Structures are given as C-alpha cells and as structure tokens.
Amino acid sequence: MRYTPAGLPAIDVVLSHESEVIDTGIPRQVKLSLRAVAFGSMAETLAVASLEAKWEFKGFLGLSRNGKGVVFHIQDIHSI
C-alpha cells in the first residue's frame, strides 16, 4: 500500500478471473488479468485481504498513468 501526496491510502493490484463459458455451443476457457487501483477504505480492505479470496468489484476503466494500457479503478468491493 502507498499513500497519495494528500495522504490517501492507495493500492495497485492485479485482478485475475478464470471461468468456462459456452460460446456457440462449445465450452471455452476464459482467463483475464487486469491491473487495478483502489483508494481509501477499499485500499485498506485489499491490503489485508487473502490472495485466494473471491470478490466482486465495481468501478470504471481508465488509462494508466503513462497513458499506455488500461487500469480498472475500483469504487466498490463485496466479498462473495
């Protein structure tokens, strides 16, 4: 965890998803890793969360700080 110049807790994480879906009648493995960032109480929650825990995240996609790539900005977290 880090702190912004204003003293707000922030954490950079990588979210991973794996599942199987049916695509045109054929099972397909879906895997995705996505860079994400959380601030404030959500950053503090993620800092102590288990790496194997399952969560539901809500937020928005934006450009990374250097303008290359996408970052998911976490705005809400729920344990599932």
Q: Which domains does the chain have, with CATH numbers?
A: 2-79 (2.40.50.140)
Phi/psi of residue 19, nearest 5 degrees: -160, 175
CA 44-77-1 angle, 5° bins: 25
Q: How far apart are CA 16 and CA 34, in angstroms?
A: 7
Q: State the chain's mean pLDDT as an integer.
A: 92
The yes-or-no verdict on residue 65 having pLDDT over 90 is no
Please identify which residue in the block is written with the tokens 């707000």. Answer: 8
Q: Is the pLDDT reported for residue 75 higher than 90?
A: yes
Q: What is the pLDDT of residue 76?
A: 93
DSSP-assigned letter for residue 1: -
In the structure encoding, which two tokens stand for residue 35, read together?
Answer: 């860079």
Which pLDDT tens digit goes with each residue over 9-35? 999 999 998 999 999 999 999 999 999
